[in-house]
């Protein structure tokens, strides 16, 4: 039984994480922290958890976590705040899975450019492993610090990895058009997530400026072994959860759909959570699961990849537990099936 | 051409009002005020109005409104703030249709009890006419001050008026169970109207404590000529607009559905915006219209009335224009058909 | 390990059931039948199950089921068709949990009256146990045939049971106003469940004529020990899942909310899936769980009970597994937590 | 007053058309036809029209339409059936606005290829004018037969016309990624438009095979004066109405956003229904209007155009009335403002 703490327990990803971990036979949540002054029961913050968890939200205190026997910490804090807390945990030898963006971008300058503030934990940044198991599966096993991947990036990266790894497509002529449910915007009410504003409406946002762009490019460049550039356009869709990503890539030479299916199936032969489907996958078929579904089409010579996932589970808390399972040598699918 | 000003121009009812009045052949909007420091174009606050209205939001200033030739003012301010502005307008002889609750409850004590602050314009409160045309149609014509009715109350009052007027039902054994779209909660983001919280969910709120209760009772008591008491339960429904109200009343003696339809059709014979329907009316059939639809059933001897309306149009801005049409002698249906 | 078959595998309740049972440590699904001529893979009918279940849909054949070692059958067939299949299974000694309505109403005349056809398995009807564990928990343990309860009835029955058991309210003055997500209408496309018809709309249906009425009354009469009558009004809400039920009951003598909470908490002290909450429970807090949430208010002397559940899980497939757990002596919460 | 008939009166576009024409001061609907055997009142087929139109659905009969004085016919029939009826009307000298796809594709071979059946009214096909007023405004005035444009094509064509007309972009490197509300799929219930299937879900469909592709290419090729090719990917979004289209085009040489805005504003200087906006337009801001909103961005050297419209109004019935206004010399904005 691995004792676990969750930092930043009032948001959607923390709630999802708790639900998954409550089903995990070898994990026990012993602390949930919050920066709020008030420390109500976790189940007051998340009424869906009533009767399932009896912990109260507590202030973040490394000594107390260690006294409780915590071995592994899941960070659900906002970027910036996250690295402040996490460096203290790492110093004391704890293992950490950080769901914020703080340790995702290897280059601190890129971080500063996209997040608008300088990184202040360069030492750990250098040691962090990007927690996408289908790409960095081995490094994850022995990592002390996992930078859990963003929701959009997983669809873009995994949708393109087989093409980029095999150098089948032009690496600077890639378009990623994503459609996300509103829970991806977090739990804080804002005008653009006010129900009568975003319901029954679609709109693109942060066009050309979304922070997940460098994250996608960094990992795809790793896969390709040379720089990859993408145009990434996110859209807000009137639904709770789910991301549908439509990718357009230009092949160097003509490929049939049958050839592409072979490429994809071979690439993901050992990835239990990637489903290469014949039909176009609706987001509905992967919500509340850790699966990422994808199919591929050829249109006028261009490759179109269609990818679906649940932004909260696969896109955040599910893949975090998948990483946890790898880190502790458990069956990768535990609590996620 | 009647020149019009709108107070409190940044909310949903103001936007709806502008759209209706832009279609009105005898009304011209000459000013839209806002308490915000910034005074952007109206169309910046409401992008749907781009290219349709060129006014800028301006601070409230009675002299300026009069200098612009304003004759009639529609108030879309919150309660409390509304009476502060409106008493100044009345003093200068303007006619006012107030969409807030400030002049709806005749008894200032009842106002204080339900709105938590004392009323500070008792003189005008005494002169205000409750703007429900199907009930107070004649008084509306000559009124200087109209207290435009609430969205929920219209469904409860008009759904029950034929029964209460004819003394067919017990006046203290009435249940009103209402289901409303989220725009009824206004434009300010709050936790319970954050999309991922209220989407895909139903919940009752303010059970036994909703401020529309005394408004319903006051008007039904007028209709009955004796006190009426109701239990009113509102629910939040994951849709933009529309109210569906299910009313349960106990008849003094058995009535058939055929008899009840006769009663309802006779009562609303001259009401162009009330549709007594054979089928149960879905809210979808009245949204974006000024109609209020209703039908009636008998279940185990109890009368069940089912009422639907659009909370923004019929429930607020549409009925306001219907009142305006009556006040100025225009065809009641102008701009509303 | 108990071997399981599911009859009628193409609908929503079967899909939900499969997902739950895949998590059950002591249940193994060995057959899924369908009346369709085609027998594709289960995962073709339910794409969300891709990669999780490898069975193909097969025609119903008792001998084949027995040859596969099936001990317990979950029936997801429509009423009428259900009893045809189930009587064959019972004859061969299998245990059955029937999610249809066929064995819910003890009186075959009542069945004929509400379902429009005569019952043709009276012998088994007499032996069936209504599978509401909080009411008939002990009979369920030894039952061969469970009539799994309807989704609406569970909210009405469990919301009223503490009041009716203690004879706190008038037994013929009860109103049950329910609001349900659209999955309750099944998987067959119909005009009233066509997205652009029911989205953004609320409407009542089958007013005074819904087949769940006698089911509610039968069980509440059992609880009371004398006849109970209810007025039941269902409404269709634009959301996938969830039922919110608002109950109005008239107490014999005044009761405080504190007294009522004591009554409810005592009544459900040993029911792990009933949560008596202080706040009004939103349906969102119980969807995808087997919990049924409820709270109670007093308004103008009337008791208002507010109940929420997930119509697919608690309302159908979850409670079916809860019954299964009881029948086989497993922890009641297995696979449902 | 122009007397009007509507063919195929039971669908969504017919209903929308009736609502618009009821507001038109110079149009009178005198007949609504339907191929159904039953001929109920129009308002029975469309309950939202109760009390607003008293016509009954009648079988299609050219003589009867002429006897009623019909001058202009709006066709809302499915493709194939549409040309059968319309050629009879044209023969008798009536003017026709056809909302089906039958007369949109000039090349009968292209029609046969995409619609799977051969065209059987080649004479009229040769004379039809594609009813996109911003492109073919002059031809529309004198046309007898208008092929009213598709909903998706208008967003693609008008979003790209300024770039293509000025030869700013590569004509065979264009991606059009569209997101549409479900009403675009029509009123007939199908599995993929069943509420619990498409609600809370996004999925692409007809990838590389949607019939609107050749329609977009034909008109853009007209604008460019040389062949244009596009990749068009439609997606189904869980909302009633609205289309959001994201266009990716590759400029021949670098252009700034400021330059692009100049190009767009100049191109649409005289188009009252095109709004070139600074902000990204949400579909919500144009639903229930005849506006088509668009903005433009430059991302990594690629041009991204973002376009929004209401698929039912601007995308079908609104633009039909805009065409009608042009054909009869009325103010283009009549009944559409």
- The per-residue pLDDT for range B36-70, each reduced to its tens digit, is 767 799 999 999 999 999 999 999 999 999 999 99
Q: Give residue C53's pLDDT.
A: 97
Mean pLDDT of A151-180: 98
Contact C130, C150 (CB under 8 A): no
Using CB atoms within 10 A of its CB, is residue D319 exposed (0-12), middle (13-18) or buried (19+)? buried
Q: What three-state secondary structure class fits D73?
A: strand
Q: Which residues of chain D have a pLDDT value below 70?
A: 37
Closest CA relative to residue C253, chosen from C169, C195, C191 = C169
C194–D198 CB contact, under 8 Å? no
H/E element, A263 = helix A257-267
β-strand pairing of A57-58 with A27-33: parallel
- C interface mutation test: which of B183, B202, B240, B296 has the most C CBs within 10 A? B202
A27 is written with which tokens? 């994990």
How far is Cα D198 from Cα D184, in angstroms, rounded to an integer? 13
D278 is written with which tokens? 């600074």
- The per-residue pLDDT for range B253-269, each reduced to its tens digit, is 999 999 999 999 999 99
Closest chain B residue to D23, measured at CA:
B337
C285–A48 CB contact, under 8 Å? yes
- Name the residue among B208, B280, B306 with its Cβ closest to that of C299: B208
Mean pLDDT of C6-32: 97
CB pairs under 8 A between B and D: 43
Q: Give residue A35's pLDDT.
A: 87
CB pairs under 8 A between C and D: 61
Beta strands in chain A (DSSP E): 2-7, 27-33, 57-58, 72-75, 95-98, 129-130, 145-147, 169-180, 203-204, 230-236, 243-251, 274-276, 292-299, 302-309
User: Which residues in C lie closer than 8 A to residue A200 (C-beta atoms)?
Assistant: 200
User: Which residues in B lie closer than 8 A to residue A194 (C-beta atoms)?
Assistant: 187-189, 193-195
Contact C250, C230 (CB under 8 A): no
Q: Which residue's entry shows tokens 């930092």?
A: A7
Q: Rounded to a whole number, what is the distance in angstroms from the first to the last CA of chain D?
A: 19
Q: Which residues make beta-bridge pairs with D235?
A: D179, D204
D60 is written with which tokens? 């299609």
Q: Give residue B35's pLDDT.
A: 87
Q: What is the DSSP letter of B278?
A: S
- Domains of chain B in start order, with CATH, are 2-127 (3.40.50.720), 152-311 (3.30.360.10)
Contact D270, D285 (CB under 8 A): no
State the nearest Cα–Cα gap between D307 and chain A, in angstroms.
Answer: 9
How far is Cα D273 from Cα A89, in angstroms, rounded to an integer? 59
Q: Give residue D254's pLDDT.
A: 95
Partner C contacted by D194 (CB < 8 A): yes
Q: Give residue B75's pLDDT.
A: 98
Partner C contacted by D284 (CB < 8 A): no
Look at residue B325 and tell me whether its pLDDT is greater than 70: yes
C146 is written with which tokens? 């469970």
Mean pLDDT of B16-21: 98
Confidence grade of residue A198 (pLDDT, cut at 50, 70, 90) = very high
Q: Give residue B130's pLDDT.
A: 98
Those residues whose C-beta lies under 8 Å from the C-beta of residue A4, and which sit 6 or more positions away, are A21, A27, A28, A29, A30, A70, A71, A72, A73, A74
How far is Cα A48 from Cα A39, in angstroms, rounded to an integer? 18
Chains touching A (at least 3 CB pairs under 8 A) are B, C, D
Q: Give residue B37's pLDDT.
A: 66
Mean pLDDT of C1-27: 97
CA angle (B196, B201, B206) in 5-degree steps: 105
State the nearest Cα–Cα gap between A306 and chain D, in angstroms.
Answer: 8
How far is Cα D330 from Cα D337, in angstroms, rounded to an integer? 13
User: Does D15 qualify as catalytic in the annotation?
Assistant: no
Q: Give residue A38's pLDDT.
A: 75
Q: What is the DSSP letter of D95?
A: E
CA A185 to chain centre: 13
Q: Give residue B38's pLDDT.
A: 75
With a CB-CB cutoff of 8 Å, which residues 221-280 of chain B face chain D?
272, 275, 277, 279
Confidence grade of residue A37 (pLDDT, cut at 50, 70, 90) = low
C243 is written with which tokens? 């039922």
Q: Give residue C38's pLDDT.
A: 75
User: Which residues in A lie closer than 8 A to residue B191 (C-beta atoms)?
Assistant: 189
3-state SS of A157-170?
HHHHHHHHHCCCEE
Q: Give residue D37's pLDDT.
A: 66
Mean pLDDT of A259-283: 98
C47–A200 CB contact, under 8 Å? no
Partner B contacted by A312 (CB < 8 A): no
Closest chain D residue to A199, measured at CA:
D239
CA dist A298 → A250, A306, B332, D160, D214 (Å): 10, 11, 59, 23, 17
- B interface mutation test: which of C178, C193, C202 has the most B CBs within 10 A? C202
Q: What is the DSSP letter of D35?
A: S
Partner C contacted by D191 (CB < 8 A): yes
| pTM value surpassing 0.95 | yes
Q: Give residue C37's pLDDT.
A: 66
Q: Determine which one of D15, D72, D76, D151 is catalytic.
A: D151
3-state SS of B70-129?
CCEEEECCCCCHHHHHHHHHHHCCCEEEECCCCCCCCCHHHHHHHHCCCCCCHHHHHHCE
How far is Cα D128 from Cα C196, in angstroms, rounded to an integer? 32
A240–B194 CB contact, under 8 Å? no
Contact D212, D150 (CB under 8 A): yes
H/E element, D98 = strand D95-98
How far is Cα A137 from Cα A159, in angstroms, rounded to an integer? 17
**Complex confidence, ipTM:** 0.97
φ and ψ of B333, to 5 deg: -90, -5
C31 is written with which tokens? 């057959």
Q: Give residue C337's pLDDT.
A: 86
Q: Which residue's entry shows tokens 């969807």?
A: C287
Q: Give residue A337's pLDDT.
A: 86
């Amino acid at each position: 039984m691995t004792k676990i703490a969750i930092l930043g327990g009032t948001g959607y990803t923390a709630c999802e994480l708790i639900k998954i971990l409550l089903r995990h036979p070898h994990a026990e949540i012993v602390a949930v922290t919050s920066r709020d002054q008030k420390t109500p029961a976790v189940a007051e913050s998340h009424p869906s958890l009533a009767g399932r968890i009896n912990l109260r939200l507590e202030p973040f205190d490394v000594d107390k976590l260690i006294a409780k026997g915590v071995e592994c910490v899941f960070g659900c804090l906002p970027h910036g705040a996250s690295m402040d807390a996490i460096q203290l945990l790492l110093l004391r030898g704890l293992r950490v899975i950080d769901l914020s963006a703080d340790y995702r971008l290897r280059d601190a300058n890129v971080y500063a450019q996209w997040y608008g503030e300088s990184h202040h934990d360069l030492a750990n940044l250098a040691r962090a492993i990007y927690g996408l198991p289908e790409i960095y599966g081995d490094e994850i096993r022995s990592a002390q610090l996992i930078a859990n991947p963003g929701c959009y990036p997983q669809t873009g990266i995994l949708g393109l990895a087989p093409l980029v790894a095999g150098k089948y497509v032009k690496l600077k002529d890639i378009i990623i058009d994503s459609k996300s449910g509103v829970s991806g915007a977090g739990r804080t009410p804002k005008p653009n997530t006010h129900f009568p504003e975003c319901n029954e409406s679609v709109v693109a946002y942060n066009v050309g400026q979304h922070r997940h762009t460098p994250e996608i490019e960094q990992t795809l460049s790793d896969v390709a072994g040379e720089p990859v550039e993408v145009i990434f356009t996110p859209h807000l869709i009137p639904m709770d959860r789910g991301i549908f990503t439509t990718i357009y890539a230009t092949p160097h030479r003509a490929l049939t759909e049958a050839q592409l299916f072979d490429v994809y199936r071979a690439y993901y032969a050992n990835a239990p959570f990637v489903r290469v489907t014949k039909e176009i996958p609706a987001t509905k078929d992967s919500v509340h699961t850790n699966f990422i579904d994808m199919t591929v089409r050829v249109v006028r010579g261009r490759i179109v990849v269609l990818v679906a996932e649940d932004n909260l589970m696969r896109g955040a808390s599910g893949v975090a537990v998948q990483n946890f399972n790898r880190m502790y040598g458990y069956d990768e699918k535990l609590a996620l099936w």
